[in-house]
Structure 1
Amino acid sequence: MKAKIVYASMTGNDEDMADILEEDLQDLGFETDSSEVAFADASEYLDSDLCIFVTYTYGEGTMTDEIADFYDQLKELDLSGKYFAVMGSGDKTYGEHFCENVFDYQKAFLACNATEITAPVTIENAPDDEAIEAIDQAAREMADKLNG
């Protein structure tokens, strides 16, 4: 199984999440490819079985230009037959906007006819032990469903 991970990271937190997930998936037998969003094109998902996006949410849910550009590319794709997962970090001081971009991407993948393979993983700021376990669990769910 091939997994494509695209991540957006302003502080390094989401790059850390993507790295943890990539290592987990490799340990579970996936062939992985990981890219920072500024160096990726959404069409790269067409060559993978599993499409993953890891993002931060800036302030009150505003997408930065690089995240918005990739989002617009994604919305043009038909990902029928593909699975997806989304995860990311945010700051709970923004209340209802906490990890809003993660859920924006979840809706975009669903609109592209992709099948959600695991619930979104959202964490506050940097990945701590609890967050790492949530990422590990999500990776196991992905492997169970696709390799099962």
Structure 2
Amino acid sequence: MESARRVRVPPRWFVRGAWAVHRGIYRISGGRLGLWRPRATKWGTLRLTTLGRRSGRERSVILAYFEDGPDLVLLSMNGWGEGEPAWRLNLRAHPEATVELPDGVRAVRAREAVGDERARLWARWREFDEKLDAYAALRSTESVVIVLEPRPVAA
């Protein structure tokens, strides 16, 4: 817990506001701004579209990711707040989704990374943020590492 005291997370209203601004920039620019590819020392952003677990309607969110071969890797962290984000719950109910990247749209299937794979991918996330473990310690539950695997598009 000592390391958790060394990091601070902005208030929830600020986090939600920042997400809203990011989505607004994406929309206003017609998708030209707001998504970027990951670099060696910086994660990228993608737009994930899932089916709502209750509504069945499409829901989109912009998330950080990095590439692991053909797979895209996400953290289900809810802004380091408690609980799972809605997009994670939607993927649990309907694992097939689409992602928009700066270079186009991909069909994907989501799964949780477990065991050694989770440890390896978590260590890669740590390369982008040395305080990752301290942020994760702020939550009472373990942050889930999500792998989005490519899937063929139905004809």
Which of the five TM-score ranges fits, normalised by the shorter chain?
Answer: under 0.3
Q: Give 1 or 2 for the bigger CA radius of gyration.
A: 2
Larger strand fraction of residues = 2
TM-score by length of structure 2 reads 0.26
